Amino acid sequence: MPLLPEAEFASTVRSSGIEESGWLLEFASPEQRIAALDLDCWEDSRFSPSRLFEWIDAMIEAGPETLAACFDELDPELWVLAMKQMGDFSVLGLGVVPPGEGATEDGMVFYCAHSAESEDRIREILSTALYYAPAHYWRLVYGAILESTAESEWLAARWQQNRLGDLGFPAREQAMRACKPLEIDETRMLELRGETEPNALVTNASQVPTQLSGSLVGRALAELPAQRLNEVMSDILVVANALAVADRLLLAEHETIEQSFAKALRGIDRGLAELARAKNQSLGRVLDATPPLDLFRVGATLDSELRPRNTLGDLAEEKEDPDWNLETEPISEEDRTLGADGRLKQS
């Protein structure tokens, strides 16, 4: 299990049913668990509490040791957001119980859960933290009481975007460059990247991945050195990742991987055909000398269906979806929990 790439682990858990995947999280690596939430609980800078709750339930199913490990692994802001979404918390004197609230096992922390599911979740989280990670117990409680939702979302989104970059998913502003128009006469042909002796060519159709079967890219590879196969596949995946972000797809869904790769290949094929015709060059020569990203940009310039799918109307409708949080206002100084001296503000 720990040998699976992070993105593949996330899509495997999501496609197999996260409600029955506690054992997968138990044997996963910390990097896989972190990446799973980065990929599945966010759409661009928007955060989904309900998806986070699904992963927390899987952590609880995996057992207290796994749940306690996740207190250390995941961003503290995510735990704060989860607690604030699940209930209202307070800390009073020993033996003082506010009306209508439940008390934790230490007798000092009280909460009013927003639903029956949230109450079960809160109980499991706080009891595990109290016995396995006492420092996290108080961080969870005081974070839920004192920290700003806006600031927690902003910080969590910042860390998530940085880690997605490490996984090969660019920020949306950068991803949109994959669809920037590029005219045929603006492309530059580079020098061939290697020798093309007959015994080094990808002439065996079985060597070409099934994803490229029937494509112009697959045909072009037959003219290129065998080592270029992995390089071209890697370049196509770079374009596909950018398109998944540009189209605001859910990155942990298995369908996203297939859809974005197919779209990238379609655009690259279109650009490859147009450049080969315009420059009177073979498919292999054009593919070897032109970055696949440029080929896709040429294809997207000619085919409007290859451009980002979201319209302003789509985004306005998605913004109103209660399952996703979207902070549109900057964090003001009044929202901040810490003062200029770095100490906790009094409230």
- Helices within the chain (DSSP H only): 6-16, 22-27, 30-40, 49-62, 64-73, 76-86, 116-132, 134-146, 149-166, 172-175, 216-221, 228-246, 254-279, 283-289, 292-302, 312-319
- How far does Cα 206 stand from its chain's mean position? 33
| pLDDT tens by residue, the chain, 347 residues | 778 889 889 988 988 888 888 899 999 999 999 999 999 998 777 888 999 999 999 999 999 999 999 999 999 999 999 999 999 988 875 555 555 566 666 777 888 889 999 999 999 999 999 999 999 999 999 999 999 888 888 889 889 989 999 999 998 888 888 888 888 887 776 654 544 444 455 545 557 778 888 899 999 988 888 888 888 999 999 999 999 999 888 898 888 888 999 999 999 999 999 999 998 989 999 999 999 999 999 999 999 888 886 554 454 455 556 566 654 443 444 444 445 554 444 44
Contact between 325 and 156 (Cβ < 8 Å): no
What is the rounded radius of gyration, in angstroms, for the C-alpha atoms of the chain? 25
Domain chopping of the chain, boundaries:
6-166, 172-310
**Nearest alpha-carbon partner for 288 in 238, 217, 339, 338:** 217
Tell me the pTM: 0.76
Between CA 82 and CA 87 the distance in angstroms is 9
Contact between 72 and 60 (Cβ < 8 Å): no
